[in-house]
Amino acid sequence: MTTLAETAVLAAERPHPSSQSDTPTWRFTAPLVAVLAATTVVPIGYAVYLSFFDWNWGSRFRFVGLHNYAVTLTNAEFWGPIGRTASFTAMALAIELVAGLALALAVDRLTRGIGWLRTLFILPLMMSGIVVSIVWKVMLDPTLGVVPWFLQHLGLSAVNLLGNPSTALPTLAFLDAWWQSGFVFIILYAGIQSLPKEPFEAAEVDGAGYWSRFRYLTLPLLLPLIAVVAAVRAVDCFKLFDLVFGATNGGPGTATQSLQMLAYRTAFKGHQMSASMTMLVVYTLFVMIAVTVALGLRRVAGRRAGAGGAGPQSGASAGEA
């Protein structure tokens, strides 16, 4: 029988697992870093490089320094699409967060058919943006569309939603919300399912109603996750191109022309590649600033939710009273 002392000696003589492999850990991440560099860093760097030149897709290729940036920042055609893209992002993000949270709360209260509903809500995510835009363009067509036909049978006047400058951009925001609300729903529903049950049970015992539990427990605990979802969706909305390209092509006039659409036209129709790259570089900086602000708000929300860990239960009771 091996004594305790002999076991200790054998353990000391046995080589440590970390000493059996001298392979540096960076070798495992090097392939991923190389792929990311090739697909992200290199194109961005090349775009920044082109922004300092005057290139027209032909033989004209001369260094102009910061001239393109000066022209872009003082060009009214550059700021207009940025404002429209920001308006689109605000409208689409508001609808998606409200709809996704409402669906998540509703499904969380169900006991049957949850799997079917989850599948139904995420089905639009299986389609590409160009498919969504073309399908809805046909459905909203004032002559052949099913939506104007349905409105006429209800006694309402059919409106060309995509052909009216005052309704085209909000309609695109609705299309994006129809397309992406399932993403917000599935993330928030998973977040609701992972919330601790004890605070809700204690609040219910104390007599707190459903809306008090939502206000003082569910919403504060979900705020960090909502901030993350909002940041992801905001970045995606800032890249608005496919819905515009398929549904309105930037029209009527320039009512729905996003910055991505303007950069596309500048590069491939105006043959001003360097000017297009400059627009996208400046716009990327704006988006990075927006993401940084969103992440900062997420940290603040997370600290507030952590600091108020014991407060929601008493708050729920007080709110119900």
Residue 74 belongs to a domain: no
Residue 264 belongs to a domain: yes
The pLDDT score that the predictor gives to residue 192 is 94
The pLDDT score that the predictor gives to residue 307 is 64
- Rounded to the nearest angstrom, the gap between the alpha carbon of residue 154 and the centroid of all alpha carbons in its chain is 36
The pLDDT score that the predictor gives to residue 308 is 55
Reduced DSSP (H G I as helix, E B as strand, rest coil) percent helix, strand, coil of the chain, to 5: 75, 0, 25
Residue 7 belongs to a domain: no
25 φ/ψ angles, rounded to the nearest 5 degrees:
-70, -20
Residue 270 belongs to a domain: yes
Residue 312 belongs to a domain: yes
The pLDDT score that the predictor gives to residue 321 is 38
* Whole-structure pTM value: 0.81
Residue 52 belongs to a domain: no
As a whole number of angstroms, the distance between CA 184 and CA 177 comes to 10
The pLDDT score that the predictor gives to residue 318 is 39
Distances (CA, A) of 313 to 101, 108, 137, 308: 22, 20, 49, 10
Cβ atoms of 41 and 251 closer than 8 Å: no
The pLDDT score that the predictor gives to residue 262 is 93
The CATH number of the domain where 158 resides is what?
1.10.3720.10
The pLDDT score that the predictor gives to residue 187 is 95
Q: How many domains are contained in the chain?
A: 1
The pLDDT score that the predictor gives to residue 264 is 93
The pLDDT score that the predictor gives to residue 23 is 60
Residue 296 belongs to a domain: yes
Q: What does the pLDDT look like over 58-67, one tens digit per residue?
A: 777 889 999 9
The pLDDT score that the predictor gives to residue 10 is 44
Which amino acid appears at position 214 of this protein? F
Residue 119: domain span: 79-320
As a whole number of angstroms, the distance between CA 233 and CA 285 comes to 17
Taking the CA atoms of residue 106, residue 109, residue 115 and residue 120 in that order, the dihedral angle to the nearest 10 degrees is -10
Cβ atoms of 138 and 220 closer than 8 Å: no
The pLDDT score that the predictor gives to residue 320 is 43
Residue 84 belongs to a domain: yes
**Which helix H or strand E contains 53, and what residues bound it?**
strand 53-55
Q: Which of 133, 132, 161, 158 is nearest to 252 (CA)?
A: 161
Q: Which residues of the chain have pLDDT under 70?
A: 1-24, 298, 301-302, 305-321
